[in-house]
């Protein structure tokens, strides 16, 4: 294992926190966003030399883009060991006001992107006899959402199913596929997208009484990305403060 990890949607928010954590854990980290310029600052902050951090553009709706990043990391670091499908889009909208175009756009980003990442990197990992895929799910995919739109919730629900399908496909070849399902997190994007009054109401309904810690989500991703996580596959780890229990 070369300890090379690709994190999608890492320009800011949870993706940035995950990329920083994996780099701290000794991974060489490929950080992607919609443009290379959006992730260059993080890559430079992690390693200005570029030896252990790489920034690149990746449209997760494009299989060709995933293949190009796979090949680029093969040339730079000899291959990839870990894929974190983090990139996504959260939209707040009443269900009856979501247009067909908005629904399709959200599903393309949140569900199609996860599908393509698994489809491209899964065989790459299988050929190498080792790999870890961690899909970032969401509480909304379990309970229909507390502060998001139906298109987001539906797409994230699909992520949990894809996680199981790909886990079964690659289980016998040293490749694990798991999901991490956060509830509302204490991140700027949450405060930007959720009305303050609604957010106060949500906080009041969380059994533990507070928003989730993005650093702990990153710790969980790092654990699932480790060599010792070989017996965990097809799982969805819920971290939501008790909002959803099963």
- H helices present in 25-149, as ranges: 36-46, 63-77, 100-107, 113-128, 140-143
Tell me the domains of the chain and their CATH numbers. Answer: 4-239 (3.40.50.720)
Best-predicted range by mean pLDDT (38-42, 92-96, 202-206):
38-42
Quote the pLDDT of residue 196: 84
**Residue corresponding to tokens 């894929």:** 83
Q: Average per-residue pLDDT in the chain?
A: 95
Where are any strands of DSSP class E within the chain?
A: 4-7, 28-33, 53-57, 82-85, 131-136, 175-182, 236-239
Decide if 244 is catalytic: no
Alpha carbon distance 19, 6 (integer Å): 8
194 pLDDT band (50/70/90 cuts)?
confident
Whether 38 shows a pLDDT value over 80: the answer reads yes
For 8-12, 199-203, 229-233, which range has the lowest pLDDT when averaged over its residues? 199-203
Tens-place pLDDT, residues 99-154? 999 999 999 999 999 999 999 999 999 999 999 999 999 999 999 877 788 999 99
User: Is 53 in contact with 43 (CB distance < 8 Å)?
Assistant: yes
Percent of the chain with pLDDT over 70: 99
Model pTM score = 0.96
CB count within 10 Å of CB 138 equals 26
Q: What is the average per-residue pLDDT within 187-196?
A: 81
Q: State residue 192's pLDDT score.
A: 81
Cβ of 188: how many Cβ atoms within 10 Å? 10
CA torsion sign, 7 to 11 to 17 to 19?
positive
Q: Read off the tokens for 162.
A: 């894809």
């Amino acid at each position: 294992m070369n300890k090379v990890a690709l994190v999608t949607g890492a320009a800011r928010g949870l993706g940035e926190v995950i990329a920083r954590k994996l780099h701290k854990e000794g991974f060489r980290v490929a950080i992607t966003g919609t443009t290379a310029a959006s992730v260059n600052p993080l890559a430079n902050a992690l390693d200005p030399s570029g030896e252990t951090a790489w920034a690149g553009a990746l449209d997760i709706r494009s299989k060709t883009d995933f293949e190009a990043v796979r090949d680029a990391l093969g040339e730079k670091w000899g291959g990839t060991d870990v894929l974190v499908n983090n990139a996504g889009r959260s939209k707040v909208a009443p269900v009856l006001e979501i247009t067909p175009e908005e629904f399709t756009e959200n599903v393309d980003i949140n569900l199609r992107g996860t599908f393509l990442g698994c489809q491209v990197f899964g065989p790459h990992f299988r050929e190498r006899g080792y790999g870890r895929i961690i899909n970032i799910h969401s509480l909304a995919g379990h309970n229909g959402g507390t502060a998001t739109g139906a298109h987001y919730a539906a797409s994230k629900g699909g992520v949990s199913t894809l996680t199981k399908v790909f886990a079964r496909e690659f289980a016998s070849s040293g490749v694990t596929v798991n999901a991490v399902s956060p509830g509302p997190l204490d991140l700027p994007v949450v405060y930007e997208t959720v009305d303050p009054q609604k957010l106060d109401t949500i906080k009041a309904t969380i059994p533990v009484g507070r928003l989730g810690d993005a650093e702990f989500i990153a710790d969980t991703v790092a654990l699932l990305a480790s060599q010792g996580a070989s017996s965990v596959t097809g799982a969805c780890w819920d971290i939501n403060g008790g909002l959803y229990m099963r």
